[in-house]
Structures are given as structure tokens and as C-alpha cells.
Amino acid sequence: MKCLVVIAHPLPDSLCYTMAHSAIAALTAAGHEVEIEDLYQNSFSPVITSSERQSYFQPPFDATTVQPQVERLLAAEAVVLVFPTWWFSLPAILKGWFDRVWSPGLAFDHAPQPGGLLQPKLHNLQRALAITSLNSPWWVDYLLLWQPVKRVLKMAILGMCAPRCRFGMLTCYEAESLTQEKVERFCSQIQKTIHKWSAS
């Protein structure tokens, strides 16, 4: 498969980069074609432009400044997102990537009737895997907040733009107090998850 790996962390020596390298190695070993979208390293701007917003409901959407990112998304059969969870949400740069690249006419069409549902367009997308780090323990994410990041990605974004896409999420909890052994164990989980793609 053609796999797009999107990395959203400002520090190249971070846990997120370790997780990203593990995912890339697993994808490559499985024979997948890998494209890397490193948002911070590429100085991607998360700020939607006035032209983009003006054309959001008046097609065609002006994707001039994000055309390379759009082309990589449209070509992808699988997307792997690697990012930290900050304040139980996506980092601003990743949210901006969704705002600007998953745009009308490209990732979806507006509802034909007022109050209706968006019409999905990412029919090529078969798999999506979110890999994230979170400083809180698992029970805060699960029991108190009901996994807000997972719900947004699965239901609001993929559910609207690529409803047939098979979604998975791996969260590394208590990230600031991890031992090397726990990091290696989590990276092994990443590799096993990706390995199963070829078997299913």
C-alpha cells in the first residue's frame, strides 16, 4: 500500500519520533511504499488563509498553497498519524493540517441539503492508524473523558471523509515517566499492529 506517515512533534529526539521511526521501519519491512509528511520539519502552517476560508463554501476550494500535501493525501491508501496528545486534543499543527488539507471538494463534498451529512471522497483510504503519547494515566482518558481524540479522529474526521477506512489507535500513557523497556514494548506493539495489516 501507499502509506502516508504524518509526524507532528517539534523535537526530533522526542518519544513521538521514536514511535514514528518504529512505524516507518515496520511499514518498509512489510513492503509498503512510505511517504513522510513531517509537519514541523517542513514548516507547515496550520493557519487557514483568507482565500481558503472564502472558498470553503464557494467551490472550488483554493488549495494552491497546500497542493503538495493534498496530492500526498489523495494518493495514500493508508495514513499513520504520530503526534503527542496535548490538553486531550490534537497539536495545533496537526489540527491545521486537517483544516487545510482535508478540504471540501478534495476530502469531502458539502451536504447536498442543509442539515445533511458531508459526502465522503477519500475512497482510496483503506487504513488509518493514530499513534500518540499522553502524560495522563489510561483511566483518565478512558473513564473520565471517553477518549476524546479517538472519537474526533474516528467519528468526526474519518467517519465523514473515509467511512470505509479501518481505524486503529495506539496510546502510550504516562509518557513522561516511561522506562526504556516500556518504550521498546510500545514500539513492538506498533510493529505488530502494522504487521497485521498484511495478514488481514
As a whole number, mean pLDDT of residues 23-46 equals 97
Range name among 53-62, 99-108, 111-120, 188-197 with the lowest pLDDT average: 111-120
Residue type, 17: Y
- C-alpha 66/C-alpha 43 separation (Å) is 12
Total number of domains in the chain: 1
- C-alpha 191/C-alpha 46 separation (Å) is 30
Helix (H, G, I), strand (E, B) or coil at 121: coil
Q: Identify whether the C-beta of residue 170 lies closer than 8 Å to the C-beta of residue 186.
A: yes
- Res 159: pLDDT: 95
Reported confidence tier of residue 140, pLDDT bands at 50, 70, 90:
confident
- Res 69: pLDDT: 97
Q: What is the pTM of this model?
A: 0.95
CATH number at residue 193: 3.40.50.360
Reported confidence tier of residue 133, pLDDT bands at 50, 70, 90:
very high
Query: What's the number of CA atoms in the CB half-sphere (13 Å) around residue 113?
Result: 1
- Res 99: pLDDT: 97
Q: State the residue range of the domain holding 181.
A: 2-199
